[in-house]
Chain A
């Protein structure tokens, strides 16, 4: 009996967390559902995706995604449906556009600025030698 409980400790229960009873007729649909729900932000608990969250809204959104996949909608149209209603904020990977320009390019600008300063500094100290 003790061994049974020790063995139990080796199982991760994270795998079973926040699972619904959604049944798909194909493995592709199941995979699309998993991929989509893990890319979408739960708006109530913002640092969780809707696959992991058990907030009421996340459950409803999972249902919406499930129904749309079952209806045969493609991924892009499902994502568009949600972005039209909740904005880009629902996406964990924000699209590249005018508003997110600084977000995407900012790190590279900082990298360039840092590197140029480093080169400048090294050249200065070399010249002094």
Chain B
């Protein structure tokens, strides 16, 4: 009894330390998406390279997709671009771009210079479709399964590590699904 009485404050202190220590490793700037395991929100956007062609949810059906939100004014996107190019080269996941609040001419110039890893790119000049998707920054990437359901959301750039350790195993798992 006496033991408990003297050590209780210490135990309380330890519990508080554990709580605060955990707080240090949280990322409050990463807001979890409520779309996980739900159908992707419907969208229809003109394609960057051909305004008459539309990109929509139909483009997700039958294969695993990474929908990448990017812009030429986004500094980190340039860094992520080289990772996306590697992914496009070495994996059969379909990359779809969502060009967010950008100048179309700039975007085309940007891709001509660096190469285009995307299968198709939707142009969201107003940012309204991005809001429909719950996007709040660039880059963001949605992992979408063969039925058009969102299965994971990557907030911030895909680094070679996140691809190898996190996304690639998930893509491979989803590709085995019917």
**Residue ranges of A at the interface with B (Cβ–Cβ < 8 Å):** 43-44, 46, 56-57, 60-61, 64, 83-87, 89
20 extra interface residue pairs, beta carbon distance < 8 Å, beyond A85-B35, A86-B34: A44-B136, A44-B137, A46-B29, A56-B101, A56-B127, A57-B136, A60-B127, A60-B128, A60-B131, A61-B131, A64-B128, A64-B131, A83-B34, A86-B31, A86-B134, A87-B32, A87-B33, A87-B34, A87-B134, A89-B32
Q: How far is the CA of A46 from the CA of B29 in the complex (A)?
A: 8
Q: Which of A44, A46, A85 has the most CB of B within 10 A?
A: A85
B132 at interface by CB-CB < 8 Å? yes
The closest CB in chain A to the CB of B33 belongs to A87
A43: chain B residues within 8 A (beta carbon): 31, 136-137
Question: A87 to B31, Cβ gap below 8 A?
Answer: yes
- Size bracket of the B interface: 10 to 19
Question: B137 to A57, Cβ gap below 8 A?
Answer: yes
- Ordered by A's residue number, 28 sampled pairs between the chains whose C-beta atoms are within 8 Å are A43-B31, A43-B136, A43-B137, A44-B136, A46-B28, A46-B29, A56-B101, A56-B127, A57-B127, A57-B136, A57-B137, A60-B127, A60-B131, A61-B131, A83-B34, A84-B34, A85-B41, A85-B132, A85-B133, A86-B31, A86-B134, A86-B136, A87-B31, A87-B32, A87-B33, A87-B134, A89-B31, A89-B32
The closest CB in chain A to the CB of B8 belongs to A117
Q: How far is the CA of A83 from the CA of B33 in the complex (A)?
A: 10
A56: chain B residues within 8 A (beta carbon): 101, 127
Q: How far is the CA of A84 from the CA of B31 in the complex (A)?
A: 13
Q: How far is the CA of A57 from the CA of B31 in the complex (A)?
A: 14
The closest CB in chain B to the CB of A117 belongs to B8
Q: How far is the CA of A43 from the CA of B130 in the complex (A)?
A: 14
Question: A85 to B34, Cβ gap below 8 A?
Answer: yes
B35: chain A residues within 8 A (beta carbon): 85
Q: Which of B31, B32, B134, B136 has the most CB of A within 10 A?
A: B136
0 or 1 for each of B132-147: is its CB under 8 Å from A? (1 = yes): 1110110000000000
Query: In chain B between 91 and 148, which residues have their CB closer than 8 angstroms to a CB of chain A?
Result: 101, 126-128, 131-134, 136-137
